[in-house]
Amino acid sequence: MSDVDSLITRLRDLETEALAAVDAAHASDALETVRIEYLGRKEGRISGVLRGLGALGPEERPRVGQEANRVKAALEERLAVAEATLAAAEEAQGAPDLTLPSRMPRLGGIHPVSRAMDEIWSIFRTMGFTRARGPEAETEWYNFEALNTPLDHPAADEQDTLYLEGGGLLRSHTSPVQIRTMLAHEPPIRILAPGWVHRRDTYDATHTPTFLQIEGLVVDEGVTFVDFKATLAEFARRYWGEGTRIRLRPSFFPFTEPSAEVDVKRVVDAPEGPVETDWLEIMGAGMVDPNVLEAAEIDPDRYSGFAFGMGPARIAMLKYGVTDLRTFFESDVRFLSQFGGGR
């Protein structure tokens, strides 16, 4: 074998070996090692073969040179393909798998007490009521005295009320919003005042120390007990359904005279047909006491009115058959998702 042929054979053997080494490498540093071993300028094995060119005649050198270039190009190309394949595989590992089944969206739901608030509000709104608000930190005067409740009255007892440093208190009901509204606006007044109230109560199935109330107040010339009863009866029918009846039981509140507890009797569907429920108490109410009008600088000889206060959580309990008030506060989705939302 001539020297040329033996050099060419060595180049081809190197080519076979190098391509196999590329195929066996599965990381970019392994590919780099192959590159240096075969293609390195000084120490590379192809360069090593070409050192034998010096022993050849000038007319023989180009054949070997050409073969060396072909082998180098083939190896470069195989290395480039291997590097690209490796990069694509690495990228795909971090990328999302678009063939996975999609997750169902979780739908939020309106909290049952918020829903009761919204429904109550939307009924009174169509009857011409507007919304009013007042502060949760109140004074004794707004919370009690202006509402015809002397501070030595049991309702004003420190037992029930959370006092703040400096003489203020957390309002124990939304009724002070009546006073604030009447002081700020001339009649006619028709407001609904929702908000949080606070009492020193235990946390049990029927009490929570903090709860929502909705206050209603109507003051105008010539407002009578008929307007009072008709308004509440209409509310009850719209909220609980056409067949619903209301009953007023005589009661006492310092800020109304006469005062009443309002009960509803609903008609519910049963397997044997529609049946009436027991009477359920839904709110306290009454005709605004003239002393309250006077405290709020409204002339009781010219104006009269009625007021009512209810707890939307209690209303929601009655509407949805919930027996423990605390479930409304515990944010357990198994409970809440029964009222809509969830999957």
Which residues sit at the interface with ligand DAH, rule CB under 6 A?
Answer: 173, 175, 215, 253, 256, 284-286, 307-309
Least separation in angstroms between residue 244's CB and ligand DAH is 20
Distance CA 175, CA 201 (A): 18
- Our CB check for ligand DAH shows the closer of 38 and 144 to be 144
- Our CB check for ligand DAH shows the closer of 246 and 336 to be 246
Least separation in angstroms between residue 237's CB and ligand DAH is 20
- Our CB check for ligand DAH shows the closer of 293 and 336 to be 293
Least separation in angstroms between residue 284's CB and ligand DAH is 3
Least separation in angstroms between residue 252's CB and ligand DAH is 10
Distance CA 280, CA 269 (A): 17
| Rounded (10°) CA dihedral 149, 292, 176, 205 | 60
Cβ-based neighbour number of residue 47 at 10 Å = 15
Which is nearest to 319 in space by CA: 53, 85, 116?
116
- Our CB check for ligand DAH shows the closer of 44 and 309 to be 309
Least separation in angstroms between residue 286's CB and ligand DAH is 5
Least separation in angstroms between residue 240's CB and ligand DAH is 20
Least separation in angstroms between residue 269's CB and ligand DAH is 31
- Our CB check for ligand DAH shows the closer of 67 and 215 to be 215
By the 8 A CB rule, do 284 and 263 touch? no
What do you get for the CA distance between the two ends of the chain, in Å?
81
Least separation in angstroms between residue 175's CB and ligand DAH is 4
- Our CB check for ligand DAH shows the closer of 194 and 284 to be 284
- Our CB check for ligand DAH shows the closer of 19 and 283 to be 283
| 3-class SS string, the chain | CCHHHHHHHHHHHHHHHHHHHHHHCCCHHHHHHHHHHHHCCCCCHHHHHHHHHHHCCCCCHHHHHHHHHHHHHHHHHHHHHHHHHHHHHHHHHHCCCCCCCCCCCCECCCCHHHHHHHHHHHHHHHCCCEECCCCCEECHHHHCHHHCCCCCCHHHCCCCCCECCCCCEECCCCCHHHHHHHHHCCCCEEEEEEEEEECCCCCCCCCCCEEEEEEEEEEEECCCHHHHHHHHHHHHHHHHCCCCEEEEEEEEECCEEEEEEEEEECEEEECCEEEECCCEEEEEEEEECHHHHHHCCCCCCCEEEEEEEECHHHHHHHHHCCCCHHHHCCCCHHHHHHHCCEC
**Closest residue (Cβ) to ligand DAH?**
309
Least separation in angstroms between residue 278's CB and ligand DAH is 22
- Our CB check for ligand DAH shows the closer of 63 and 247 to be 247
- Our CB check for ligand DAH shows the closer of 14 and 116 to be 116
